[in-house]
Chain A
């Protein structure tokens, strides 16, 4: 029984959110069961729907992993949004600059690497500030989200004259293939090869955390910095490295969007995937497998919102997401306390 207890908070959170959501549905004069039913069949009833869920889950896996990696090291990275933006912007800009000068595959690879490196460097800033000055990473990552938006505005406007920042489009040869190209039922959905990159990232993070000495030290740092230090770990260095890795994972969002979907960077495309990553990491209990499930759940929710928009405002889904977060932390805390008392 006790071994199943950790599963209670996420399940409770989902059920509670659906229950609260039902009240909102009733408030606009609809039947909750009908709406939820329509949502389920609209999302899972077609290959296209599945494709959309996968497409929307892909960036959430990246940011979920990013936030989870931070959590494992005892860090709260609220800056996944800004890190994703910075990385994607550089990805789009480097790709666009390189496109006329190099073959497509090279463009793709160089752009991806440059973007990921940017995300890592940008996330390392709060890591260094914490390691060096003891400045709390939460406030700094929040601030850096806004700084990222301003920086992109500045460089974007300087380089590309547009209403909103918008990098030039990449040639098809520099883009990741869409899955619809191999399996026609998925055509129409932009789900692309970065889905496999997300799966790979999950495996990589899992291996890093549980199969390498660095992962051992990272988790030890998050669990008990005093013991980690005693065991020869340089705790401040772990903070910096964990933040950089977290930023790199966040920046992979750009691979899905820039290199897999649009072919260019566009302001505000992230539309909260960084923040939603926190929800994914919490609901997935900071475990790669849990993160995949949570990302699929949130992906399905946001696709479901589009399906039911004619019955209920699709923002019902945003409300559900928020309630899942609140319920997840409340029930998590309650179960933990119960476990501590009955250990």
Chain B
């Protein structure tokens, strides 16, 4: 409140956009905690940070999708209040969402002009729309066929349409949310050329990303966010990737974990030359081979979207592999159903609790047998054994400190942290030979994080193999016995926690080949 936004020294014109002391909370979660950001007119400003650092929330506040709890917004020096994206559009802001807002069966020109259509009499003047789009695309060097249907375009082309959509509406400030996440390197080069030409024409670009190499390449200034706050702000040419990586990952609360040395035994999981496609049919996992031995934790680091999700789904049977082999305790399971894998000793804490991990309307007791509904002691002959289910619930809820421990309460009444403890408890109580844990502490408070960490190590010491995927580097470093980094579906490095640190991992994760 006392610190005014840093006035822009280099330009006499007011900043294109200023966010002053923005705070936004969701329930108990503070997504933005007094964030101030000033973006020079005619510059490319990068906003970087880990997942959950608050970047996207901040931009949604700026674009009128969220209302801030407190703080001020200024556009070209004037205080602005955006009640909806329409207000932001009218103020000359445009946003390219990470998930494109395009109508697939319509053409490029139709998508761009939608809502501001050129008319000929009562009809939609398609020819003029196409001509205008053609001119716009030529002016900004965004090559696109106005007559093409969106559904036939590549992702890079679709992104160009999104950018043109904002330009057609006269946007002078462009916000791009993780624009390179879905692009090929060539498409990234093209996008950057476009962004530079926009800047050179006096427009302003705000780029949300966590790829530091790109930040160095394209931006003029960079703001690093961490834990909902601004962790640092730099002129790009005066900083370096290592410095940014350190700011980005920070020095998090050190969770000192008492951990004995691992005693790895026979392989619990062997993955050989595995290839997997994602929902769009693109190769997401490319020729990955790895092994997890009983009694060790193998950590997988990587920026989200680099094949971790598809790899886990292929291991757990929720997605078919295109080629390669998966074996559990020496038994091939590449084509086995999810149920067969569970019965063969697999336990799985899924990445997305809500879409996979829990049945919101089921009570705690029923959620605790998910995956074992056909197995003893919960099923006896044709019937569920309610006593066994209840007893298991009472025991597991106590053992994993789920609160409140009421077996008959619907699971949706639990807090996120307690839901997660329930999922972890359910999977650990399987006492499997392999535990696949994806983001096991996401959205969980500190106390629960420590608890879950200790349980994962205990699981290792019991003799299970643990495959841990996380976006928290500190978590990976403190839990893993060995670590691999996935980048664009490939294993780029294998290392040990004692031989590396967060900064070095961050570089591997952002595509740097040398630490």
Contact = CB atoms under 8 A, between A and B. Distances in A.
B370 A231 contact: yes
A227 B356 contact: yes
Contacts of A224: 355, 358-360
Interface in A216-266: 216-217, 219-220, 223-224, 226-234
A4 interface: no
B338 A212 contact: no
Given A211-B383, A220-B359, A231 B318 contact: no
A223 B363 CA distance: 13
B75 to A, nearest CB: 32
Contacts of B370: 220, 227, 230-231
Interface size class of A (residues with CB under 8 A): 10 to 19
B357 interface: yes
Contacts of B338: 229-232
Contacts of B156: none
A228 B338 CA distance: 10
A213 B384 contact: yes
Nearest to B361: A223
22 contacts: A211-B383, A213-B379, A216-B366, A216-B373, A216-B384, A219-B362, A220-B359, A223-B359, A223-B361, A226-B356, A229-B318, A230-B316, A230-B318, A230-B348, A230-B370, A231-B370, A231-B371, A232-B337, A232-B338, A232-B339, A232-B371, A233-B339
Contacts, number: 66
Interface of B: 316, 318, 337-339, 342, 348, 350, 355-362, 366, 369-371, 373-374, 378-379, 382-384, 386, 412-413
A27 interface: no
A219 B360 CA distance: 12
Contacts of B348: 230
Interface of A: 211-213, 216-217, 219-220, 223-224, 226-234, 343
Contacts of A212: 382-384
A112 B342 CA distance: 40
Given A213-B374, A216-B366, A220-B362, A230 B384 contact: no
A340 to B, nearest CB: 10
Contacts of B384: 211-213, 216
A343 B361 CA distance: 13
Nearest to B369: A216
A230 B371 contact: yes
Nearest to B385: A211
Contacts of B356: 226-227, 229-230
Contacts of B357: 227, 230
A230 B367 CA distance: 12
A339 to B, nearest CB: 10
A234 B359 contact: no
Contacts of B359: 220, 223-224, 227-228
Contacts of B373: 213, 216-217, 231-232
A40 B369 CA distance: 48
B318 A223 contact: no
A228 B359 CA distance: 8
A127 B348 CA distance: 30
Given A231-B370, A231-B373, A226 B342 contact: no
A131 B326 CA distance: 27
Given A220-B370, A232-B337, A232-B374, A226 B362 contact: no
A230 B373 CA distance: 12
